[in-house]
Amino acid sequence: MLKYARLTGWGKYLPENVVTNKDLEEKVNTLDTWIQTRTGIKERRLAADDEAASGMAVKAAQDALRVAGLRSEQLDLVIVATVTPEMIFPSCASLVQHAIGAKNAAAFDLNAACTGFVYAAATASQFIGTGMYKKILVVGSEVYSRILDWSDRDTCVLFGDGAGAVVLEAGSKPPGFLSFVLGSNGARPELLNLLGLCGNPNDPDKNRHYITMNGSEIYKFAVRTMAKASKQVLSKAGLTIDDLKLVIPHQANKRIIQAVAKSLGVQNDKVFMNVEKYGNTSAASVPIALCEAAEEGRLDANDYVALVGFGAGLSWGAAVLQWGSG
């Protein structure tokens, strides 16, 4: 019998170092008003020199396990969604698995860029649905500050560092994840990418290890794709937009989020946003926002919440979750 993946624990970690738009004015040819008008971002967190994706993931994971009331050795699997691990191998997930003492768990990383957490949650749900595993830790953790060109005001102002984690456990009936929609179109990799890490033959500068992005094209793709994916995932769950208590989108840009809300016919107060505090934390964005929504009491037992994201690939994903009582 197929089982539901119930979300029983959640946690987050944000570095202590707060970098405001005013701080960036001293380093980059930019203005606080320009950043806020175009993105809605006021500040972001940047990892300390001795912090890495695995360490931040561990802190978020420990919080999630505490909320779930689980011991780490009870976990069957650890999945970390990241594109900024401190090592190509071993996986960030393996480092997290060891650090938290999850000695009975398998572990692997997943790369779907900013859509990574939704992809990872879908993957974990399939393991639970087949009965292979019962308790899974899913983490999104990113240190984008290490792959930014700090002279490029079009990209460096957008991103921040952080980690978010959830625990999924098998249940015979809802609440839990009800549906997923995942997608990818690899026809335009040049729109958002990071070249050079492994000597990409298309990269004329072998030492270029930073993000490049076509902002206008990504904006159009994000608005169109997140609205469409949200409608599709609701239809799969047998729900309508009116059934939702909350929409938690990828926190990339306030204008994108507001445009998606308008396309869906959703009031802004039904859409969770924290982009002004953290910027775009990529795969950590959705779980951090989900954790904050829970902490703020925005979700009650049996509420329906939609999670939706987009990212490099170009990738997209959406999920419908019925919130449990913890």
Distance CA 218, CA 310 (A): 9
Query: Given its phi and psi angles, is residue 279 left (phi above 0), alpha (psi -120 to 50 degrees) or beta?
Result: left
pTM of the model: 0.96
Domain end residue (candidates: 152, 171, 190)? 171
Q: Are residues 212 and 286 in the same domain?
A: yes
Asked if residue 65 lies in contact with residue 72, where contact means CB atoms within 8 angstroms, the answer is yes
Which residue among the candidates 114, 156, 253, 291 is catalytic per the annotation? 114
From 92, 253, 280, 291, active-site residue: 280
d(CA 254, CA 10): 24
Alpha carbon separation from 222 to 227, 243, 310 (Å, rounded): 8, 23, 6
Residue span of the structural domain in which 159 resides = 4-171
Place of tokens 């879908």: 122
Set 21, 156, 193, 250: catalytic member: 250
- Domain with residue 277: its CATH number is 3.40.47.10
The two tokens of residue 73 are: 């050795």
Taking a C-beta distance cutoff of 8 angstroms, is the pair 246, 302 a contact? no
Question: Do both 135 and 258 map to the same domain?
Answer: no
The yes-or-no answer on residue 156 being catalytic is: no
In this structure, the answer to whether residues 238 and 107 fall within a common structural domain is: no
Q: 278, 252 in Cβ contact below 8 A?
A: no
Active site residue 198: no
Instruction: Select from 171, 197, 221 the last residue of a domain.
Output: 171
* Residues 33 and 109 placed together within one structural domain of the fold: yes
For the question of residue 114 being annotated catalytic, the response is yes
The tens-digit pLDDT sequence of the chain (326 residues) is: 568 999 999 999 999 999 999 999 999 999 999 999 999 999 999 999 999 999 999 999 999 999 999 999 999 999 999 999 999 999 999 999 999 999 999 999 999 999 999 999 999 999 999 999 999 999 999 999 999 999 999 999 999 999 999 999 999 999 999 999 999 999 999 999 988 666 556 655 655 678 999 999 999 999 999 999 999 999 999 999 999 999 999 999 999 999 999 999 999 899 999 999 999 999 999 999 999 999 999 999 999 999 999 999 999 999 999 999 64
Whether 157 and 213 map to the same domain: the answer is no
Contact 123, 110 (CB under 8 A): yes
Q: Same domain for 136 and 190?
A: no
Domain final residue pick, 171, 206, 236 = 171
Within 10 angstroms of residue 192's Cβ, the number of other Cβ atoms is: 23
Q: Which of 84, 134, 129 has its CA nearest to residue 105? A: 134
In this structure, are 298 and 259 located in the same domain?
A: yes
What is the Cα 259 distance to its own chain's centre? 19
